[in-house]
């Protein structure tokens, strides 16, 4: 739902653009602070949206940064996240990226393979430094989400599998330039039901016990992110139920008093505060359908084309009482460039503004220059 002031500003702005509701972002951050026990460390996953304006509010709310590339580490540093709150994950960190993160003395590298441990140890040695590391574990817990965003199953490329633990522990003894400080988990994204998080906790308990028995009482346990948002009803559920989410971890995670819990939330923080605003260029009457052709396409928001993801689509200009079904498509030369099929909207005409909701996470960051499209601006009101 947009205010009159916002609609007025939209009508004077060249489309397409991303609109971010900073007041909703602040309310979401307040809700996290209220729901999370004080001792929980929350990192924001920059991969969801790394816009400096959003990052400033997120940093001011006291969150740390979760990064998956050297440039995300750089962006966090530039946006004044404290270096001891920056974590760096990813299966394929390049030497250049590792060296940069070492220079920044970040809090922790989440390491995804034995080979990466060896490389990181060598690069730290070259700099006369010691790197803090957490082992990213593949817990084999099903997130029951889209297969492209499931990360915690044996078949996925992420993390170290339990059958490798003995080898990894032996290897770590030979790597003196690494401080082994934690375990890291992340099972997937857009997880709507809390059961996978409960299952994750039970698995973390087992794995943590295994490491304790081997003599490693690790001070940091990072359970990742993945809490999903409601794409169907963005206005009724603009802030997710953080209380129930954190309660699962309070209830089921069994850690030692010395162990601290870390989270890496992305979508649940920025997802609902962003919308892609676009204009209708043409209406075309097909054989069985009408097409509303927008000036935004899969280059601006790829989620529907890539994951068949649903985003609520609204005509925010028309007040016609007549409802008509449209396939909402973009201008890109691909048939997958479709935001929604048979979407019922008030009768729509050229020039109407269309809002594609819940696009604050994995929207702008995944946009591309395909078809030599222009990078699109962001608008904050
Ligand atoms: N931590 C790790 C290690 C991750 O891989 C991810 C997301 C997160 C945290 C944050 O997850 P979140 O809380 O946002 O679910 N492009 C896809 C989503 C990819 C998620 C990748 N990893 C989409 O548009 O749905």
pLDDT tens for each residue of 141-165: 887 777 676 776 676 777 899 999 9
**CB 89 near ligand 1, within 6 Å:** yes
Work out which ligand 1 atom sits closest to the CA atom of 136.
Answer: 3
E strands within 112-248? 131-136, 178-184, 220-222
pLDDT reported for residue 149: 66
Q: Of 226, 227, 276, 301, which is best to mutate to test ligand 1, by the most ligand atoms within 8 angstroms of its C-beta?
A: 226
On the question of a common fold for 22-271 and 272-380, the answer reads: no
pLDDT reported for residue 142: 82
**Ligand 1 centroid to residue 42 C-alpha, Å:** 15
pLDDT reported for residue 81: 98
pLDDT reported for residue 121: 98
pLDDT reported for residue 45: 98
**CB 360 near ligand 1, within 6 Å:** no
Q: Minimal CA–CA distance to 167: which of 143, 198, 135?
A: 135
**Ligand 1 centroid to residue 266 C-alpha, Å:** 7
E strands within 238-337? 260-265, 274-285, 290-294, 313-315, 323-329
**Ligand 1 centroid to residue 289 C-alpha, Å:** 35
Residue 42 has which token pair? 């929350």
- Distance (Å, whole) CA 377 – CA 296: 12
**Ligand 1 centroid to residue 44 C-alpha, Å:** 11
pLDDT tens for each residue of 61-80: 999 999 999 999 999 999 99
Residue identifier of the C-alpha nearest atom 4 of ligand 1:
186
For the domain with range 22-271, which CATH number is right: 3.20.20.10, 1.10.760.10, 3.40.50.300, 3.90.1170.40? 3.20.20.10
Which stretches in the chain have pLDDT values below 50? none
Q: How many helices (H) and strands (E) does the chain have?
A: 11, 16
DSSP class of residue 374 equals P
Question: The tokens 């979407």 sit on which residue?
Answer: 343
pLDDT reported for residue 322: 96
- Distance (Å, whole) CA 79 – CA 72: 10
E strands within the chain? 17-20, 41-45, 64-67, 86-88, 108-111, 131-136, 178-184, 220-222, 260-265, 274-285, 290-294, 313-315, 323-329, 338-346, 353-356, 378-380
DSSP class of residue 14 equals P
**CB 340 near ligand 1, within 6 Å:** no
pLDDT reported for residue 157: 79
**CB 65 near ligand 1, within 6 Å:** no
Residue boundaries of the structural domains of the chain: 22-271, 272-380
- Looking at the domain 272-380, which fold is it? Lyase, Ornithine Decarboxylase; Chain A, domain 1 (2.40.37)
pLDDT reported for residue 152: 65
**Ligand 1 centroid to residue 379 C-alpha, Å:** 24
**Ligand 1 centroid to residue 188 C-alpha, Å:** 7
**CB 271 near ligand 1, within 6 Å:** no
Residue identifier of the C-alpha nearest atom 22 of ligand 1:
189
Q: What is the pTM of this model?
A: 0.96
**CB 264 near ligand 1, within 6 Å:** yes
**Ligand 1 centroid to residue 226 C-alpha, Å:** 6
Work out which ligand 1 atom sits closest to the CA atom of 189.
Answer: 15
**CB 72 near ligand 1, within 6 Å:** no
């Amino acid at each position: 739902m947009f205010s009159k002031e916002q609609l007025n500003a939209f009508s004077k702005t060249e489309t397409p653009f991303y609109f971010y509701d900073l007041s909703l972002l602040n309310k979401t951050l307040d809700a996290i602070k209220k729901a999370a026990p004080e001792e929980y460390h929350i990192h924001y996953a920059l991969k969801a949206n790394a816009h400096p304006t959003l990052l400033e509010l997120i940093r001011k709310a006291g969150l740390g940064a979760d990064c998956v590339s050297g440039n995300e580490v750089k962006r966090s540093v530039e946006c004044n996240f404290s270096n001891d709150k920056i974590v760096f994950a990813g299966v394929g960190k390049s030497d250049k990226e590792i060296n940069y993160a070492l220079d920044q003395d970040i809090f922790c590298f989440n390491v995804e393979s034995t080979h990466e441990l060896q490389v990181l140890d060598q690069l730290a040695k070259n700099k006369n430094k010691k790197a803090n590391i957490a082992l990213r574990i593949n817990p084999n817990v099903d997130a029951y989400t889209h297969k492209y965003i499931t990360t915690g199953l044996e078949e996925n490329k992420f993390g170290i599998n339990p059958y490798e633990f003995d080898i990894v522990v032996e290897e770590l003894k030979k790597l003196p330039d690494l401080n082994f400080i934690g375990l890291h988990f992340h099972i997937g994204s857009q997880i709507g039901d809390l059961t996978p998080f409960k299952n994750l906790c039970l698995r973390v308990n087992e794995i943590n016990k295994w490491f304790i028995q081997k003599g490693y009482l690790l001070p940091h346990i990072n359970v990742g992110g993945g809490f999903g948002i409601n794409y169907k009803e963005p206005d009724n559920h603009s802030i997710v139920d953080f209380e129930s989410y954190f309660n699962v971890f309070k209830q089921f995670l069994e850690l030692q008093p010395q162990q601290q819990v870390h989270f890496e939330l992305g979508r649940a923080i920025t997802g609902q505060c962003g919308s892609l605003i676009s204009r209708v260029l043409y209406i075309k009457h097909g054989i069985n359908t009408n097409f509303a052709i927008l000036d935004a396409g899969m280059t601006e928001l790829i989620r529907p084309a890539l994951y068949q993801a649903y985003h609520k689509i609204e005509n925010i200009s028309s007040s016609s009482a007549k409802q008509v079904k449209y396939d909402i498509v973009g201008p890109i030369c691909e048939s997958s460039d479709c935001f929604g099929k048979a979407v019922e909207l008030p009768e729509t005409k050229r020039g109407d503004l269309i809002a594609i909701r819940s696009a604050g996470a994995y929207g702008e960051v995944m946009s591309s220059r395909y078809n030599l499209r222009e990078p699109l601006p962001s608008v904050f009101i």
